[in-house]
Amino acid sequence: MTLYEALNIDLDISELISVVGAGGKTSTMFRLAQELKALGKKVLVTTTTNIAFSETSQADRLILDSSKDIFFLSRVETGTIACLGSGVLNDKGKLAGIDREFVDEIYQKHLFDYIVVEADGSKRKPIKAPAHYEPVIPRETTRVIGVIGLDALGKTITDEYVHRPNLFCSITGKKMGETIDRKCIIDLIRSEDGLFKDVPQGCRKYVVFNKADHADRQEEAKITSNQLKEMHFPVNGLIVAATDTGYIYAEWLSEKP
């Protein structure tokens, strides 16, 4: 199964897709972009925060422009991936993002079949809790992918494994130094201040349990998915994946596109 199939994407409808959370957002973004490119779609990948500059090599065309000039984007060919940033932060090896209002403008101009935006930062940690100004989701977003790295399970709640551990503790009721367990992940997903914080009204929401490259992680994700279903959490899909290697398992889809 492909990621776009697991997300139930209708190939006849253009979308603006935002990726939030931690534990493989960039690999998820580019996995989806590559699949859509293979189907002959014109895809833009970008960020409203920052991403590692090295990751931009996965795109066919890199556009660095801080002028918000649509002209450069109108020349992108069909069947390619363009990566847009406002510049390069050389001291951090990062591609600097663009304003979410500009992302909305690009989407409204219908220049691309799909726009995929990394709308959250996590400093390469497997799990995070968002600050008051996070995530930075464009308002025209049609669906949000919330990523959680399954390699967080069993780790301690410290700066080493959790981005913003104090906020994570506030959401989950845990204390610093305690272990990240299944309940932590469920609490993070369900909380208004958690994984889907500030998602625009009407967006479809999908959870990607990422880094499921071991049988025990896959099983844990399936158990977590079943518990969320029993709680009737309003999400459109629960997906078990290892997006860097291509393993995709759609645990549950609640509706048609």
Residues 207-251 pLDDT 10s: 999 999 999 999 999 999 999 999 999 999 999 999 999 999 988
Question: pLDDT > 90: what percent of the chain?
Answer: 91
**Is there a domain that residue 8 lies in?**
no
**Is there a domain that residue 178 lies in?**
yes
Give the model's pLDDT for residue 238.
97
Q: Are 172 and 188 in contact (CB under 8 A)?
A: yes
CATH code (residue 30): 3.40.50
Number of independent structural domains in the chain: 1
Residue 52 scores a pLDDT above 70: yes
Q: Using CA atoms, how far apart are residues 47 and 97, in angstroms rounded to an integer?
A: 5
**Is there a domain that residue 214 lies in?**
yes
pLDDT tens track for 136-176:
999 999 999 999 999 999 999 999 999 999 999 999 999 99
pLDDT tens track for 28-48:
999 999 999 999 999 999 999
Give every CB contact of residue 12 below 8 A, 6+ residues apart in sequence. Answer: none
Confidence of residue 255 (pLDDT cuts 50, 70, 90): low
Residue 257 scores a pLDDT above 60: no
Adjacency order of strands within the sheet including 81-85: 61-64, 81-85, 43-47, 114-118, 15-21, 143-149, 204-210, 237-242, 247-253
Confidence of residue 256 (pLDDT cuts 50, 70, 90): low
Give the model's pLDDT for residue 252.
85
**Is there a domain that residue 5 lies in?**
no
Give the model's pLDDT for residue 183.
97
**Is there a domain that residue 173 lies in?**
yes
pLDDT tens track for 177-215:
999 999 999 999 999 999 999 999 999 999 999 999 999
**Is there a domain that residue 2 lies in?**
no
**Is there a domain that residue 6 lies in?**
no
Give the model's pLDDT for residue 251.
87
**Is there a domain that residue 7 lies in?**
no
Per-chain mean pLDDT for the chain: 95
Residue 221 sits in which domain range?
Answer: 13-252
Q: Which residues pair with 238 in a beta bridge?
A: 207, 252
Give the model's pLDDT for residue 43.
98
Q: Are 147 and 25 in contact (CB under 8 A)?
A: yes
- The model carries a pTM of 0.96
